[in-house]
Chain A
Amino acid sequence: MFEASSLNRKNLRNERLVKASLGLMTGLLILPVVLILSTLLYKGGPVISFEFLFASPTNGMTAGGIFPALLGTILLVLVALIASVPLGVAAAIYLSEYAPDNWFTRAINLAIINLAGVPSIVHALFGVGAFVIFFKFGTSILAASLTLAIMTLPVVIVATRESLQAVPQAFREACWNMGATRWQTIRRVVLPNAITGILTGVILEVSRTSGETAPIMFTGAAFFLPLLPQGVLDQTMALSLHLFVVSTQVPDMPEELPYGVALVLISIVLIMNSLSIALRMYLRGRKKW
């Protein structure tokens, strides 16, 4: 009764073939990640030490540590966050909670999507034109961070808007029916339930910002500085640019040093990503509806 016809057998064979090859492709995805991480750990791991993290480079950057670059990356990311988070969250709240659905709002949404697609080198040149030259910030932490902020604004806006829209509409309507204004509703019911999602977006922004090179190259990150920056109008070193410099620009560079820099950089990104995943899991566990 259930004997397989030749057509059945062919289908079964195809099914096994397709399943196996799709699985293989998926398995291949892990390969680059594993290779990159293991190479970095193997070659760069021994370099990492307290001194490497907290001392300045010496001997034309061929020895010593990476502290100015590490500090510079942290500063750049912090200032970028201070600029982009309030702006992005405000824009997302407006778009999600206030804006009527008309051509203008749709145009703004389209602009945000396109902003996310602008290549980072174009952002860099915009940053030079706008912040370095027009606003006369010079090549500085401020100019570089603002460039990074504009580049990552779409990430903040989209993450915030999505977490706002995940809050059920019925909650808003219940509040409005009680005589709450839109802002009262947002502050008391919508934002408290969206805040973890917004934080997740912000952390992802940090991980993306910390690795960017092009936008800061011409706007505030320096090849080498003997001193730490004293304020936001100073230039700074940065990990991503430092990695580029020690890998390609310095003769007689010990082979393992660039791997150490790369390992620190990728660790920052991975730590931030894990934080965001942990936060999301925490959020799911605490879901209130």
Chain B
Amino acid sequence: MVAVAEPTAVNKLEVDRLTIRYGDHVALEDVSFEVRENEVFGIIGPANSGKTSFLKTINRMDMFDSNMSFEGAIRFNGVDVSRVRNVYGLRRRIGVVFPLPVGLPLSIYDNVALAPRLAGQKNRAELDIIVERCLRRAALWDEVKDRLHSLGSMLSGGQQQRLTIARALSQEPELLMLDEFSIAVDPVTTMRIEDVLRELKKEITIILVTNLVQQARRLADRTAFFLEGRCLDVAPTEELFTGTVSDPRTRDYVEGRFG
């Protein structure tokens, strides 16, 4: 069950015997795998299988939930995240996109400029460049370039989700984590965002949690299957869909027999 790293590949993230708990409830149990540099790593699985808890632990958002605890290790760039003192610095290197788009009640410009500003960037010209670049990369620039100072929270759902991606990119993240980003997005926008992700993959590492099995198949280089707090399979995506899988339930799930 535990995938072994190929010695040649560089690992962005190493998950080592990770167990996540909420009080006594085990959300994720004894999970180990690695996420390689510049790959799209898919995580599929039905609701309540520990996918979101896993993402929250990577950037230490568990600290905001006093009920949440974890054992084992997650190493980001080889550094154990539980030993990182400057969690704010860690979070800045990791962009997150939520299931429901969160356009902050700021202008479109300020939404994207927020992360650079938090990091201390005050130069207006620099900010202008960052905002335009991030909005272009998120395929939103053409739609909003004439109204950068209107409210981000008033955009349509699909636009807000691309705004969220632009905001995540403004952190210049090394790792982008998307949690079921297409739930509240129409199919056309979903396809546009998927194209964006294919471009981004050249520069950064992406973890894609998705409830759409086919989306993982389209985008992910390797995919993990989470079920009821366990990781049943980690394999190159095509193998998961066509080859032999180590657990029969994985095959049932990807073929749509449950979930």
Contact = CB atoms under 8 A, between A and B. Distances in A.
Contact of B91 (A100, A170, A178): A178
Contact of B102 (A170, A180, A181, A193): A170
Given A179-B118, A188-B114, A173 B61 contact: yes
Contacts of A181: 88
A177 interface: yes
Is chain A's interface secondary structure helix, strand, loop, or mixed overall? helix
Contact of A189 (B59, B91, B106, B168): B106
Interface in A167-188: 170-171, 173-181, 184, 188
Contacts of B61: 173, 176-177
A174 B104 contact: yes
A100 B89 contact: no
Given A170-B98, A170-B100, A288-B153, A180 B118 contact: yes
B92 interface: yes
Contacts of B167: 174, 178
B258 interface: no
A288 B118 contact: no
Contacts of B104: 171, 174-175, 189
A165 B118 CA distance: 23
Interface string B39-76: 00000000000000000000101001010000000000
B35 interface: no
A100 B66 CA distance: 8
A55 to B, nearest CB: 50
Contacts of A100: 66
A179 B114 contact: no
A173 B89 CA distance: 16
A184 B153 CA distance: 20
B156 to A, nearest CB: 14
26 contacts: A170-B100, A171-B105, A173-B64, A173-B102, A174-B98, A174-B164, A175-B114, A176-B61, A176-B64, A178-B91, A178-B118, A178-B167, A178-B171, A179-B88, A179-B90, A180-B88, A180-B114, A181-B88, A188-B114, A188-B118, A189-B105, A189-B106, A192-B105, A288-B153, A288-B154, A289-B105
Given A101-B66, A178-B167, A192-B105, 9 more contacts: A171-B104, A174-B104, A176-B64, A177-B59, A178-B168, A178-B171, A179-B89, A180-B118, A289-B105
